[in-house]
Each structure stands twice: as structure tokens, then as C-alpha cells.
Structure 1
Amino acid sequence: MKIAVIQLHHGEGSEETVEERATRVADLVRTEGAGHDLVVLPELWSAGAFAARDWEERAQSLADGLPPALAPVAEATREIGAVVHSGSVVERTTDPGAEGKHLWNTSVVLDPAGMPCLTYRKIHRFGFGGGEPKLMEAGTELVVGDLPEPADALTVGLSTCYDLRFPELYRAQLDLGAQLFLIPAAWPAARVEAWRLLQRARAIENQCFVVSCNVVGTNGGVEMGGRSAVTDPRGEVLAEASTDQQEVLSVEIDPALVASVREDFPVLQDRRL
């Protein structure tokens, strides 16, 4: 299974519009994603994870098909015939959530025809009362499922950025059959060592592959940390990006390694709680 992880430079300060950014990202999917089974993009690349003041304006509805921010990516997806985790968008819904808000941080996975096959609303909102908790609803549903061909070798669990700090989420996904965790993110440079450590921890403790895609540059005045990575079920980092460059990781993983690691070192059988 061949995976492309596209670590984006957010482009803040370049006067790039959301439409222009979507075109740029779609071109990367088209050129760098070709020949891969699965392509992964970062969190909120269209709206900006730390640009909360722009979220309302940049919010997208998913009710009537793909929104403008994802349409060019969907077209590129169809051209290369891969499964594309398009990162996440600020989703706007007509009906409010439990807290009366209409915005969500929603991940969308596209099948090779460019149509959504899995979506996930971020459960753990970052901001300690501001940012996401102030403006967005919290997701409530675990999302674990099988991707279509050509990325159907492993059952995936979806999560987003700050979710990585909550191991119980990944344990619950493990119990639903997850073998590969897909994690788009916009993780700051100030805490990038935690980002690196937690990826390995989630891989080791659940004996799963972890594919994590971050951004670089600045967003909302916050320096982003990069270090996108692919980690195997033993906790070995198969590839890792830099802290400051837009780049693409191209990694071929062996899906059989999940079962092999779990059989050779059956730690999950000794769970007591």
C-alpha cells in the first residue's frame, strides 16, 4: 500500500485566496499523489486552523455536494484514481449542534471517483475555551471503516490533530477494528516534540500504523511545526518530514505487518481494563 503525505506550506501573508489555495493543493494531489493508493492532506488547510476570525466566512456546507474548497481536490482525485484524505474543512450546517453552534471541524475522505466515502467531525476541540470550543461544535461519533480500492488493505480510524492527546479515543477505535490511524493536523512548532512522541505512542500501544500530516509556515500568526510522519505498528518511524519545508512523503507500507506484530508480541491480549 503506497501512501503520499502532503505536508503543505499554509501560504499566510501571500494574499492567496481560498480558491487559489484549493487550486494549488489540487495540483499537488495531481502531481505528487499520482501512483499512490492513499493521499493525505492536513487539517483546515483551506480555512486556517488558527485563523478563527475567518472561519465563518470560509465555512463550507457539505449538504449539497462538495464545497468549493474541495471541488478542485476531488477533480484531481478522479484523475489519479487514489483515495484522498482531503484534510478537514470548517463545515457549516443548517441545524445547530448540542451547544447551538453551526460550525464543525470536519474531515472528508474522497474515493477514487472524488466522492466522500468517510467523514469525521473532530471530537476534541483545541483552544481551552477559545478558538474551536468557542466557535465550533464537538463531534460525537467514532469513525472506523474500510476504504475503497486501491486503499482497502487496512481498516482505518479517523481523528484530527488535538485528538492525538487522548489515548482513549484510539483504544476505542482499536476495539472497532482499526489498523491504521489517519491524522490530519495543524500542530504548532512550540509543541512539535509532543506531536512526534504521541504519534509513536499511539502506534506502539495499539500496534497500528499511524499516518500524520501537518503543515508548515505560519497560520494566524502561529508558527506551525511540520514533522508529518508515517509510523509502523512497532513504533518505528518509516518517514518524517522537516519542520519548515513543504514536502511530500512517499511511503510503501506492508499491511501484513499489523497482524504480524500483534501475533509476535501479543500485548493487546493482556489488557485488563
Structure 2
Amino acid sequence: MKVAAIQINLEFGNPEANRAKVVEMIEKAARELPDVIVLPEMWNTSFSLKNLHEIADKEGEPTKTLIGNLAKKHRVNIVAGSVADRYGDQIYNRLYAIDRAGHVKAYYDKAHLIQQAREHEFLTAGTAASVFAMDGIPCGAIICYDIRFPELARTVALKGAKVLFIPAQWPETRIDHWKALAIARAIENQMYVVAVNRIGSEFKANFPGKSLVVDPWGKVLAESEDQETILYAEMDIDLVDRVRAKIPCFSDRNIKAYSL
């Protein structure tokens, strides 16, 4: 599986500009014939939380149509990062997984909201992990802050996922945590991790990119710098089975020891 991780700057509260940038970058990434293209977190609006009711998607549109048409045009799977998406009075930080035919295979709502950033005042938390197939390969997704909760990534792995996609807006002040946590999630779950961050600045936060692809041994296969770019990597999916057979962590789990 060849992956293309799109690392871009975002315009605060400007969905039209952000959609134009995403289209431009997907068109560019598609020239390299990846199997999967991945976008960062909240790329339609960024964290313009106070006016999300006006600028967020409405029941997945226009994102599902826009990204679906691009996926179908280029015959590529797209993990459409996440977008602010309104359903009635509820707004979700929602990720869509779209296949080569342009169909939505699955969605995932960010489960862990950052109270310090007041996300919980504007967004509704998701309540379910998501596992979906891309070209027959079981994949899962979590979003940004979710990476700090190993039980969520483990749930996805136990459901069969061999690749974990993590779109994010992760700040420079904690960028060492970003890399360490991505590697840890890969090692402990013996799976590939594709972690896609943004660049740019918003309020007092700087976003340095540092998107990365990690293999099941914890080896960093590719890592970006602080610039707008497309990060490419090849993933040998069979390696997941070989690693899990060599060190059978899942079958050696002692569930009785985990009760509080």
C-alpha cells in the first residue's frame, strides 16, 4: 500500500479557500499513483469553533461529494482527514474514509475532546471506534488528541486493523509527544501508523508538520519537515502478520489483570 500524506496550512474559518487547497494537493498527489491519500484534521474550517454552525459541513456536504468525485476521478482511496460536520444542532469532528469508486466506506467522530481548548463546548464527542477496509486491507482511524488514549488504538487493532490513520492539528510545543506517541501506538499494536499533521499558525499555536509513517516495529519510514508537502511511503502490509506472529502480544494478553 502506497500512502500519500498531505501536509498543508489552513485558513482559519475559510472553507472555500481550504477546499481549493485540498483539491490542488489531491490532484498533485494523485500523479504519483498512491493507493491512499490522507488529509489533516478539521481542514475545512480549522478550529474556528464559535461560528461552526454557519461554516461547518451540513451532513457531510460538500466534503463527501467533493472528495468522492476526486477519489473516483483518480481511482484512489482517500482518508478525508476530518472536517467540522453539522447534523442538526450537533457538530462533530468527523473523518470520512472514501474508496476508489467515490463511495463513503466509513466515518469516525473524534472521541476525545480537549477541555482546555473548550472543544467540548462546541463539538459532540464520538462514541465508537471505526474499522474499514481499503483494497481489502483492514484499517482504522483516530483523530489528534485520541492518540493519547492507547485503549482506543488498541480497540481498533483488536477489531483487525493493520493500518491506523491519525489526522491532526498538533502544536509545536508538544511535537516530541506527537512522534513518541505515534511510534508507541505502532509498536504496541504491531500495526502501521500514518500520522498527518498540519503546518502554519493559529492564535498562539504554531503547527510544525512533522507528519510521519511508522511501521509495526516502530521504525519511521518517512517524516516531513515544517513546510507544505506531500509525504509518500510504501507499506508492506504482510509485515503486520509477520510481526504479530513473531511476538504474539494479542494472544498473550492477560485480560483478568486489567480489571481495576
Partner of 2:112: 124
Taking the aligned partners of 1:77 and 1:267, their CA distance within structure 2 comes to 36
Taking the aligned partners of 1:238 and 1:112, their CA distance within structure 2 comes to 25
Partner of 1:45: 43
Taking the aligned partners of 2:249 and 2:227, their CA distance within structure 1 comes to 37
Deviation at 1:21, TM superposition (A): 1.9
2:92 alignment partner, one of 104, 111, 117: 104
Taking the aligned partners of 2:57 and 2:160, their CA distance within structure 1 comes to 31
Deviation at 1:80, TM superposition (A): 1.1
Deviation at 1:32, TM superposition (A): 1.2
Matches within 5 A, 1:8-23: 8-11=8-11, 17-23=14-20
- Confirm or deny: 8 A CA contact 1:18 1:69 kept in the other structure: no
Q: CA RMSD in A?
A: 1.7
Partner of 2:101: 113
Taking the aligned partners of 1:179 and 1:69, their CA distance within structure 2 comes to 26
Scaled by the length of structure 1, what TM-score is found?
A: 0.88
Deviation at 1:127, TM superposition (A): 3.0
Deviation at 1:59, TM superposition (A): 1.2
Partner of 1:227: 210
Which amino acid is the alignment partner of residue 210 of structure 2? R
Gaps of 5+ in 1: 97-101
Which amino acid is the alignment partner of residue 69 of structure 2? E
How many residue pairs get matched?
A: 254
Partner of 1:99: none
Q: For residues 73 and 27 of structure 1, do their structure 2 counterparts lie closer, same or farther at Cα, with a shift above 3 Å needed? A: farther
Taking the aligned partners of 2:234 and 2:197, their CA distance within structure 1 comes to 19
Partner of 1:6: 6
* Pair 1:252-2:234 in alignment: yes
Runs of 4+ with >6 A deviation:
none
Taking the aligned partners of 1:70 and 1:29, their CA distance within structure 2 comes to 14
Scaled by the length of structure 2, what TM-score is found?
A: 0.92
Matches within 5 A, 1:132-211: 132-147=119-134, 149=135, 152=136, 154-211=137-194
Taking the aligned partners of 2:54 and 2:223, their CA distance within structure 1 comes to 34
Taking the aligned partners of 1:117 and 1:220, their CA distance within structure 2 comes to 35
Gaps of 5+ in 2: 256-260
Matches within 5 A, 1:212-223: 212-223=195-206
Which amino acid is the alignment partner of residue 180 of structure 1? V
* Pair 1:30-2:18 in alignment: no
* Pair 1:268-2:250 in alignment: yes
- Confirm or deny: 8 A CA contact 1:7 1:226 kept in the other structure: yes
